[in-house]
């Protein structure tokens, strides 16, 4: 199955139970829920892992907020979030946190006649669009960045996540860094009271809405932009360069990351230095209980993610994610996996 076909099938399944691989009667199975950002790669890893081990991994793509709530309630074996929890939150909930892959949050548009990467934006102009201050595509601020591009005299429809979302947290963190008015009015959070636009549930919902609504702009994980053949925006980075989203620009943003700067590896990779860095790059995280109701389930989750981190790099790259550096994988295995009580 090619990448596009796999992603299309995966996205359709994500609306309800994202992964429903039936296990053999003797095989162990585990359940997880949370972020839609990593869903395509978790689906691919789970498919390959079950083929090799017979163990089923059932994952619901319900958004980071839902994943955090479910793992705190211990109704799933692992949670997934794009917005990392603080050290205090991890301690209070008795959770372990670790990254799995890197990706990018990408502004996407549906403007008739506009090709991928043809529109250039700066962070402050993007923030003004989402604040509702820039209302048309031919606004002078957008036109000044796009000489020679035929911009329509059309009203912009902003599309946002309607559910509590780590993708929204990453996107709003970036916009808050770029725009003091945005930070003051809306701030950074998993749920924003957007002043205008339409909501979509999950990365899937935002991508689908942008595709259906002419002159819309939304924000999704890069794999969803490619899956839905949406036109992405070229963004100005911290070095002042306009860059396109791809695995190379995500990797460039993560090159100098200090993963030990926050508990649970919970760092931000927005607005990183470097000429080639994509400015809205982000890791995504898994949450595990330090003491589970069923320690054997936690042991199976650790086995799955150990396998995925060590053997799943090519699968991640095929889906336009960036695998964790080998040094970081070793640190995750030593510092995170060792904290869980599995017997």
Domain count along the chain:
2
Q: Answer yes or no: is 261 within a domain.
A: no
**Domain check: are 119 and 18 in the same one?**
no
Q: What interhelical angle do 123-130 and 166-178 show, nearest 10? A: 120
Cα R_g (the chain), whole angstroms? 20
Q: In this model, does residue 16 exceed pLDDT 50?
A: no
State how far the Cα of 225 lies from the Cα of 108, in Å rounded to an integer. Answer: 7
DSSP states of 150-195: ---S-B-EEEEESS--HHHHHHHHHHHHH-HHHHHHT-S-SS---S
Q: Answer yes or no: is 274 within a domain.
A: no
Q: In this model, does residue 113 exceed pLDDT 60?
A: yes
Q: In this model, does residue 11 exceed pLDDT 60?
A: no
SS3 state of residue 95: strand
**Domain check: are 150 and 126 in the same one?**
yes
Q: Answer yes or no: is 152 within a domain.
A: yes
**Domain check: are 222 and 317 in the same one?**
no
**Domain check: are 38 and 159 in the same one?**
no
Closest of 224, 304, 322, 247 to residue 45, by C-alpha:
304
**Domain check: are 214 and 326 in the same one?**
no
Mean pLDDT of the chain: 91
**Domain check: are 307 and 238 in the same one?**
no
Range 178-187 average pLDDT:
98
**Domain check: are 152 and 237 in the same one?**
yes
Q: Answer yes or no: is 73 within a domain.
A: yes
Retrieve residue 150's tokens. Answer: 């035929």
Specify the pLDDT at position 47: 97
State how far the Cα of 170 lies from the Cα of 173, in Å rounded to an integer. Answer: 5
Contacts of 343 (CB under 8 A, 6+ apart): 295, 299
165: left (phi over 0), alpha (psi -120 to 50) or beta: beta
Strand bridging mode 95-110 / 216-221: antiparallel
Q: Answer yes or no: is 266 within a domain.
A: no
Indicate the burial class of 120 (C-beta count within 10 angstroms; 0-12, 13-18, 19 or more): middle
State how far the Cα of 250 lies from the Cα of 177, in Å rounded to an integer. Answer: 18
Largest distance between two CA atoms of the chain: 65
CATH code: domain of residue 289? 3.40.190.10
State how far the Cα of 173 lies from the Cα of 295, in Å rounded to an integer. Answer: 36
**Domain check: are 44 and 150 in the same one?**
no
Range 82-109 average pLDDT:
96
Task: State pLDDT tens for residues 207-250.
Answer: 999 999 999 999 999 989 988 999 999 999 999 999 999 999 99
Q: Answer yes or no: is 267 within a domain.
A: no
State how far the Cα of 284 lies from the Cα of 198, in Å rounded to an integer. Answer: 25
Closest of 270, 282, 274, 280 to residue 239, by C-alpha:
274
Rounded to two decimals, what is the model's pTM?
0.86
Q: Answer yes or no: is 183 within a domain.
A: yes
Of 215, 241, 256, the domain-final residue? 256
Range 111-122 average pLDDT:
95
State how far the Cα of 146 lies from the Cα of 125, in Å rounded to an integer. Answer: 12
Task: State pLDDT tens for residues 73-84.
Answer: 999 999 999 999
**Domain check: are 110 and 251 in the same one?**
yes
Of 256, 272, 304, the domain-final residue? 256
Of 256, 272, 298, the domain-final residue? 256
Strand bridging mode 78-81 / 322-323: unpaired
Specify the pLDDT at position 2: 53
- Confidence class of residue 22 from pLDDT cuts 50, 70 and 90? very low
Q: Answer yes or no: is 263 within a domain.
A: no
**Domain check: are 97 and 110 in the same one?**
no
**Domain check: are 21 and 154 in the same one?**
no
Determine the structural domain holding residue 23 and report its residue range: 3-103+282-339
- Confidence class of residue 25 from pLDDT cuts 50, 70 and 90? very low
Specify the pLDDT at position 1: 53
Element (H, E) at 200: strand 198-200
Range 264-290 average pLDDT:
96
State how far the Cα of 282 lies from the Cα of 83, in Å rounded to an integer. Answer: 9
**Domain check: are 92 and 110 in the same one?**
no
């Amino acid at each position: 199955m090619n990448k596009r076909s796999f992603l299309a099938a995966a996205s359709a399944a994500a609306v309800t139970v994202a992964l429903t691989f039936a296990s053999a009667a003797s095989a162990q199975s585990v359940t997880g829920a949370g972020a839609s950002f990593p869903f395509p790669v978790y689906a691919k890893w789970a498919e390959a892992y079950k083929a090799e081990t017979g163990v089923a991994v059932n994952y619901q793509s319900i958004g980071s907020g839902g994943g955090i709530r479910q793992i705190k309630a211990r109704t799933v074996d692992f949670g997934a979030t794009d917005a990392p929890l603080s050290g205090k939150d991890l301690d209070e909930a008795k959770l372990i946190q670790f990254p799995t892959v890197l990706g990018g949050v990408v502004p996407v548009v549906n403007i008739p006649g506009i090709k991928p990467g043809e529109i250039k934006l700066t962070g402050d102009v993007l923030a003004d669009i989402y604040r509702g201050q820039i209302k048309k595509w031919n606004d002078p601020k957008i036109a000044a960045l796009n000489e020679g591009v035929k911009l329509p005299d059309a009203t912009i429809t902003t599309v946002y996540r309607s559910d509590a979302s780590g993708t929204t947290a990453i996107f709003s963190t970036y916009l808050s860094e770029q725009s003091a008015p945005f930070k003051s009015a809306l701030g950074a959070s998993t749920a924003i009271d957007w002043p205008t636009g339409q909501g979509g549930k999950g990365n899937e919902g935002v991508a689908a809405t942008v595709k259906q609504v002419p002159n819309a702009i939304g924000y999704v994980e890069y794999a969803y932009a490619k899956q839905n053949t949406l036109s992405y925006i070229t963004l100005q980075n911290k070095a002042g360069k306009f860059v396109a989203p791809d695995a190379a620009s995500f990797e460039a943003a993560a090159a100098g990351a200090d993963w030990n700067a926050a508990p649970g590896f919970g760092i931000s990779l927005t607005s990183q230095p470097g000429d080639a860095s994509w400015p809205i790059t982000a890791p995504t995280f898994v949450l595990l209980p330090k003491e589970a109701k069923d320690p054997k389930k936690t042991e199976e989750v650790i086995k799955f993610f150990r396998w995925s981190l060590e053997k799943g790099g090519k699968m991640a790259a095929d889906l336009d994610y960036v695998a964790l550096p080998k040094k970081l994988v070793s640190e995750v295995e030593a510092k995170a996996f060792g904290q869980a009580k599995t017997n």
